[in-house]
């Protein structure tokens, strides 16, 4: 009898232990899972911090979109360095007709990215490699990076790439001695319905008016020289003359005070001169080469000039 009693006590102890160790925890867990939040109350969640981008941070982006072409392609600007003074480089105003200027500006971008110490601490360099993406796409099949093997072999196609999708010569659409019908070599070309009628020229106008660069260098082809800017035959800005001579001496290109091969109207760098912005146009010697060593030397000398 005593043994039976002991066995019953042991069983009872084991049962109690199992209740507290197994059954009760499971029951509590189930209750917690099925718990309903009372009406009118909200479970408190940890708020995530809102990341705001200041105007200063937006301006320091390495890539921005300055506008759109007639066909809606992006006109992009790339930024290097963080100085307060901005120098603007522009390529591809004549799209696929001067495709080599686009290749040159992309190589400049790659070099600046790989050699950031080339840019003085007080300078920011902005590069717009393709001002006429519609015209470039006609000739190389892309509005951005491409290789020389992508260039059409047809001269007719290349000439068509000089103009935007409205068949306007963008470099005749600026507000300096503008004419509705301009001249290119011995050919009449459209200067648009009015100055800045084209979205491409309006894009760079708006960018320049907002950012106020201290100097502009634009590449074109093909005459093999560095050309100063002026509007209405006004006196060349002293700083324009200075950077023209600096770039020419370093690169080996001859320097010219004016473009006299044929009449210019609505020209971009001359519009810069009208707005008192020092600007030069560097014309490559051919429509095929980028003359990298010459232009790199000119760029380095120009940046050194503005580091002072």
pLDDT of 261: 85
Q: What is the mean pLDDT of residues 5-9?
A: 49
What confidence score (pLDDT) does residue 259 get? 86
Q: Per-residue confidence at 308, pLDDT binned at 50, 70, 90?
A: confident
pTM: 0.80
Mean pLDDT of 155-179: 97
3-state helix, strand, coil in the chain (%, to 5): 40, 15, 40
Higher pLDDT, 258 or 83: 83
What's the pLDDT score for residue 108? 98
* 78-119 pLDDT tens trace: 999 999 999 999 999 999 999 999 999 999 999 999 999 999
Mean pLDDT of 229-242: 95
Q: Which residue has the higher pLDDT, 168 or 52?
A: 168
Indicate whether 242 pLDDT > 90. yes
Instruction: At 43, list the tokens.
Output: 């479970």
**What value does the mean pLDDT of the chain take?**
86
Q: Supply the DSSP string of 220-254, one letter for each residue.
A: EESS-EEEE--STTPPPPHHHHHHHHHHHHHH-PP
What pLDDT score does 145 carry? 96
Contact 105, 91 (CB under 8 A): yes
Using CA atoms, how far apart are residues 172 and 264, in angstroms rounded to an integer? Answer: 8
CA-to-CA distance for 127 and 217, rounded, in angstroms? Answer: 10
Q: Answer left, alpha or beta for residue 147, where phi above 0 means left and psi between -120 and 50 means alpha.
A: beta
Question: Which positions ≥6 away from 24 have C-beta within 8 Å?
Answer: none
CA distances from 156 to 160, 169, 181, 184 (A): 6, 16, 21, 15
Q: What is the pLDDT of residue 32?
A: 43
Structure tokens that stand for 168 in this block:
């306007």
Beta bridge partners of 89: 127, 217
Q: Quick check: 49 pLDDT over 50?
A: no
pLDDT at 258: 86
pLDDT given for residue 260 in this prediction:
82
pLDDT per position as a tens digit, 50-64: 343 333 334 458 999
pLDDT, position 78: 98
Using the predicted structure, report yes or no on whether residue 219 has a pLDDT greater than 90: yes
Maximum distance among all Cα pairs of the chain, rounded to whole angstroms = 129
pLDDT at residue number 63 = 95
Q: How far apart are alpha carbons 239 and 219 in whole angstroms?
A: 18
CA separation, residue 260 to residues 144, 256, 257, 304 (Å): 32, 9, 9, 30
The DSSP code for 3 is H
Backbone angles phi, psi at 76, to 5 degrees: -100, 150
């Amino acid at each position: 009898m005593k043994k039976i009693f002991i066995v019953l006590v042991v069983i009872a102890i084991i049962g109690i232990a199992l209740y507290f160790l197994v059954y009760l925890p499971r029951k509590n867990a189930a209750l917690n899972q099925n718990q309903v939040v009372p009406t009118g109350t909200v479970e408190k969640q940890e708020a995530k911090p809102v990341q705001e981008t200041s105007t200063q941070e937006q301006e320091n982006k390495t890539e921005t979109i300055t506008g759109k072409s007639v066909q809606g392609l992006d006109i992009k600007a790339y930024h290097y360095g963080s100085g307060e003074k901005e120098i603007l480089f522009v390529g591809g105003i004549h799209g696929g007709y001067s495709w080599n200027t686009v290749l040159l500006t992309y190589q400049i971008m790659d070099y600046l990215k790989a050699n950031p110490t080339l840019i003085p601490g007080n300078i920011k360099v902005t590069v717009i490699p393709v001002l006429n993406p519609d015209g470039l796409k006609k000739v190389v099949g892309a509005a951005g990076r491409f290789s020389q093997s992508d260039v059409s072999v047809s001269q007719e196609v290349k000439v068509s790439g000089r103009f935007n999708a409205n068949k306007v010569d963008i470099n005749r659409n600026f507000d300096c001695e503008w004419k509705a019908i301009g001249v290119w070599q011995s050919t009449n070309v459209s200067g648009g319905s009015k100055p800045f009628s084209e979205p491409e020229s309006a894009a760079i106008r708006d960018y320049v008016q907002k950012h106020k660069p201290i100097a502009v260098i634009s590449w074109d082809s093909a005459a093999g020289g560095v050309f100063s800017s002026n509007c209405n035959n006004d006196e060349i800005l002293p700083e324009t003359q200075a950077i023209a001579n600096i770039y020419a001496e370093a690169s080996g290109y001859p320097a010219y005070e004016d473009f006299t091969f044929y009449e210019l109207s609505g020209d971009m760098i001359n519009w810069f001169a009208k707005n008192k912005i020092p600007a030069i146009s560097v014309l490559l010697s051919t429509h095929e080469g980028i003359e990298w060593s010459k232009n790199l030397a000119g760029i380095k000398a120009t940046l050194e000039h503005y580091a002072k």
